[in-house]
Amino acid sequence: MPDARLDPIDRKILSELQADGRMTNVELAKRVGISAPPCLRRVRTLEEQGLIRGYHADVNSRELGFEVQVFVMVGLESQAQTELSAFEERCRHWSLVRECHMLNGEVDFIIKCVAPDLSSFQIFLTDDLLSTPNVASVKTSLVIRTAKDDPGVPFEVLEDRLSRSA
């Protein structure tokens, strides 16, 4: 269910910042139809509530020399909470791991790795991941090309749903 704290202006602010986090507060206020001071207060409140977690540059990894992206499906021997937490903690410290998601089903985790080349990924795979306690299975899939990589959430879907229920 959508967060009850959010009114249409808050959702529009989030949508606009998600599309362009570098715009000025004045431009944002203009786009959402309010003046700059209340817009800034709303943005700060959204940040304090944890709905805006940060602002990031969307860098082109391949242009920066990170040619290899790999999705890695990891199965653990034990799914005890301490073991799951230990694996997540290790993922937080591995630089090549950019995303880590716990799943239900046949695979316990899927992680996304970004590396400059295959040999760098192979070193990570053999020296770090495969030698990690509790790791039972690892399957890798090399990304050939990316057709879509949109960050954030689809606010338009939420807005459509809210307008239908009103």
Per-residue pLDDT of the chain (166 residues; tens, 9 = 90+): 455 578 999 999 999 999 999 999 999 999 999 999 999 999 999 999 999 999 999 999 999 999 999 999 999 999 999 999 999 999 999 999 999 999 999 999 999 999 999 999 999 999 999 999 999 999 999 999 999 998 889 988 877 777 777 6
What distances in angstroms separate CA 25 from CA 32, 33, 88, one per listed residue?
Answer: 10, 12, 37
Which CATH code fits 68-142?
3.30.70.920
Question: Is pTM beyond 0.95 here?
Answer: no
The number of angstroms, rounded, from the C-alpha of 149 to the middle of its chain's C-alpha atoms is: 11
Ranges of each domain in the chain? 1-58, 68-142
- CATH number for 1-58: choose from 3.10.310.10, 1.10.286.10, 1.10.10.10, 1.10.580.10: 1.10.10.10
